[in-house]
Chains A and B, each alone.
Chain A
Amino acid sequence: MRGKIAERLIRACLFLVVIAFLGWAFATGAFQFMLDNLDDLLHLLQQHLKLVGLSSLLAVVAAVPIGILVTRPRFKKFDWLAVNAANIGQTVPSLAILALVMTYLGIGYVTAVFALWLYSLLPILRNTIAGIESINPSIIDAGQGMGMTPSQILWKLEIPNALFAILAGIRTSIVINVGTAALAFLIGGGGLGDLIFTGISLNDTGIMLSGALPVTLLAILLDVVLGKMEKWIIPKGLQRHLET
């Protein structure tokens, strides 16, 4: 009960912060700027979505299978390697990753997608491995003992029961990616970072906020949408964790 109240309070506070942010943006004339440059804004938003969408999609496609692979008995010995790589990778600042990748690949859209992809891999990989390894071993034992093949155990037991963790990793990764993608402008990748950094160099809060505001709203929106999707995808028998 107390937890519920605290949760509501925090939510209300966050909501107020967002409202205040909007008010601030209005006061500095960010809305006016956005309306005046609607075409530019939509173009940059589209670029931003493409950066996030492509890099996140590629990250899911790569990280989930790698996570599954290193939890197979045959590749178990590479488990530590993947987990450590993921942990170390996560501690490197996102800006540093962009810089590092730029050194080798030059500037441009491809470089930006590659860097974002690299940075998105890690939360997904880590959650996939943790999700599969945290499954109660008695469930797997029962599956084996009843004559399930290894692939049936993977598809019918391991993936459904680890789905909560895997999807949480994907959600975290995408939300972080929306923010990180704003840095893509620095290496010629485009996106809403264009407005933010232009605003900063011109010392014009209005222009800066006309980039920052859409990025913030996009991150919040994606978080909510992905949260709803989790409820929809995760098997009902495991959802008691979500309801509370």
Chain B
Amino acid sequence: MIRFQQVTKIYESANKTVKAVNNITFQVEEGQICVFLGPSGCGKTTLLRMVNRLIPITSGTIEVNGKEIHSLDPIALRRSIGYVIQQTGLFPNMTIEENICVVPNLLGWDRVKMKKRYNELMEMMGLNPDEYRKRYPWELSGGQQQRIGVARALAADPPVMLMDEPFGALDPIIRERIQNEFLRIQKDVKKTILFVSHDLDEAIKLGDTIALFRSGELMQHGTPDEILSQPKNEFVAEFVGSERALKRLSLFTMRDLVSRLNPADRKSAGKRDLRHTVHMDTNLRTALSVLLSSPTGEAAVVDDNGQISGVVSIADFERLTGIHPSERTSAVQ
């Protein structure tokens, strides 16, 4: 768990003082991803870098797993927190194996243990350990480099990770793929993660909670659904934009919608035109797009076995009014 209490950062220059982070109090529960979101210069990166003391705090306290960070040695603190940055920060003079084993090396692990950990991590990332062991960062693509960056942060199995726009420099297709892999890995490792992003879609997809900042102040901290459906103030509403209803749909899957339909209302497949189909696990934003492109405004819902289990139409979406993902019946996650 990470607890911020009245955290403030003031930069003083010759003729002015700037409050980069202003009196921020909130906490992130263990095993959750909290995405720090906001326009550039809103203080999100500053706040992140205060957690591992790369930036000294002006006033307030930050507790990581119950320990106030200023009671700890900064070097030991940083070694116990995973750190991933946008330009990967891989060391060009070291092989991939050496890069991944940086922190274990600093902690003085023995060779056998390090090698085992390297193999483990590479397999987790879906990369062949032996193929990359002796290669250098420049030989890898951007996506592969970023996977190595994440693996390196996980190497010493830290309970907490800080990620500063780690996927920001990747092209959209690779980014989406890495985000999915990242969520799959997080399901197993259950780290407490602070994740800086400026991309609302990324925040909705990855965040258990989102903390939205503006000029050093915390505007709202809540689940993606709360941010989208109950924006606390005008800034939040404006930031999430007029598309928020649409974005919110990506929090639900077809399974959620189907389970809401009364059995009586369920339309059977019958003799309908069923060229348009959606899978049970498709998110509703994508599903809506399929429905809109269907001439009849209907699409067949297909389960894992490829069986058609019913038909949905655009009108069915109104069943979701007032429903939040926390109340959904299916537990796909």
A, B: real partners = yes
Q: Which residues of A contact B (CB under 8 A)?
A: 136, 138-139, 141-149, 152, 156-157, 160-161, 235-238, 240
Q: B86 CB to closest chain A CB, in angstroms? A: 7
Q: Given the interface contacts A146-B79, A237-B92, A237-B94, does A138 sit within 8 Å of B54 by beta carbon?
A: no
Residue of A with least CB distance to B75: A147
Establish whether residues B75 and A235, one from each chain, have CB atoms under 8 Å apart when the complex forms.
no
Residue of B with least CB distance to A236: B136
Question: What B residues does A156 contact at CB under 8 A?
Answer: 91
Question: What A residues does B80 contact at CB under 8 A?
Answer: 147
Establish whether residues A147 and B91, one from each chain, have CB atoms under 8 Å apart when the complex forms.
no
Which listed residue, B54, B76, B92, touches A145 by the CB 8 Å rule? B54
Residues 43-92 (chain B) with a chain A CB within 8 angstroms: 49, 52, 54, 75-80, 83, 85-92
Given A143-B91, A145-B89, A235-B94, 10 other A-B residues pairs in contact with their CB atoms under 8 A:
A138-B86, A138-B89, A145-B54, A145-B162, A147-B76, A147-B79, A148-B75, A152-B106, A236-B136, A237-B91
Residue of A with least CB distance to B105: A156
Residue of B with least CB distance to A144: B54
Question: What B residues does A238 contact at CB under 8 A?
Answer: 92-93
Question: What A residues does B92 contact at CB under 8 A?
Answer: 139, 161, 235, 237-238
Question: What A residues does B75 contact at CB under 8 A?
Answer: 147-149
A139 to B76, alpha carbons, bound, how many Å? 19
Question: What A residues does B94 contact at CB under 8 A?
Answer: 235, 237
Residues 88-108 (chain B) with a chain A CB within 8 angstroms: 88-95, 102-103, 106
Any A CB within 8 A of the CB of B26: no
Q: B119 CB to closest chain A CB, in angstroms? A: 20
Nearest 7 CB-CB pairings of A with B:
A142-B89, A147-B78, A237-B136, A147-B79, A145-B83, A235-B93, A160-B93
Q: B151 CB to closest chain A CB, in angstroms? A: 13
Question: What B residues does A157 contact at CB under 8 A?
Answer: 91, 93
A–B complex contacts, Cβ < 8 Å, 23 sampled: A139-B90, A139-B91, A142-B90, A142-B91, A143-B89, A145-B49, A145-B54, A145-B89, A145-B162, A146-B78, A146-B79, A148-B102, A152-B106, A157-B93, A160-B93, A161-B91, A161-B92, A161-B93, A235-B93, A237-B91, A237-B94, A237-B95, A238-B92
Any A CB within 8 A of the CB of B138: yes
Q: Which residues of B contact A (CB under 8 A)?
A: 49, 52, 54, 75-80, 83, 85-95, 102-103, 106, 136-138, 152-153, 162
Question: What B residues does A139 contact at CB under 8 A?
Answer: 89-92
A43 to B79, alpha carbons, bound, how many Å? 59
A68 to B256, alpha carbons, bound, how many Å? 62
Q: Given the interface contacts A139-B89, A141-B89, A237-B95, does A146 sit within 8 Å of B106 by beta carbon?
A: yes
Establish whether residues A141 and B79, one from each chain, have CB atoms under 8 Å apart when the complex forms.
no
A136 to B145, alpha carbons, bound, how many Å? 16
Establish whether residues A145 and B78, one from each chain, have CB atoms under 8 Å apart when the complex forms.
yes
A141 to B152, alpha carbons, bound, how many Å? 14
Question: What A residues does B106 contact at CB under 8 A?
Answer: 146-148, 152
Establish whether residues A144 and B78, one from each chain, have CB atoms under 8 Å apart when the complex forms.
yes
Establish whether residues A237 and B78, one from each chain, have CB atoms under 8 Å apart when the complex forms.
no
Residue of B with least CB distance to A161: B93
Question: What A residues does B83 contact at CB under 8 A?
Answer: 142, 145-146
A152 to B79, alpha carbons, bound, how many Å? 13
Q: A81 CB to closest chain B CB, in angstroms? A: 23
A136 to B106, alpha carbons, bound, how many Å? 22
Q: B155 CB to closest chain A CB, in angstroms? A: 9
Q: A156 CB to closest chain B CB, in angstroms? A: 8
Residue of B with least CB distance to A140: B89
Q: B81 CB to closest chain A CB, in angstroms? A: 8
Question: What B residues does A141 contact at CB under 8 A?
Answer: 54, 85, 89
Establish whether residues B87 and A138, one from each chain, have CB atoms under 8 Å apart when the complex forms.
yes
Question: What A residues does B152 contact at CB under 8 A?
Answer: 146
Q: B106 CB to closest chain A CB, in angstroms? A: 6
Question: What B residues does A145 contact at CB under 8 A?
Answer: 49, 52, 54, 78, 83, 85, 89, 162
Establish whether residues B138 and A147, one from each chain, have CB atoms under 8 Å apart when the complex forms.
no
Residue of A with least CB distance to B76: A147
Establish whether residues B77 and A147, one from each chain, have CB atoms under 8 Å apart when the complex forms.
yes
A236 to B138, alpha carbons, bound, how many Å? 11
Q: B143 CB to closest chain A CB, in angstroms? A: 17
A161 to B93, alpha carbons, bound, how many Å? 6
Q: Given the interface contacts A237-B93, A238-B92, A238-B93, does A146 sit within 8 Å of B102 by beta carbon?
A: yes
Q: A224 CB to closest chain B CB, in angstroms? A: 25
Establish whether residues A142 and B85, one from each chain, have CB atoms under 8 Å apart when the complex forms.
yes
Q: B307 CB to closest chain A CB, in angstroms? A: 50
A75 to B49, alpha carbons, bound, how many Å? 24
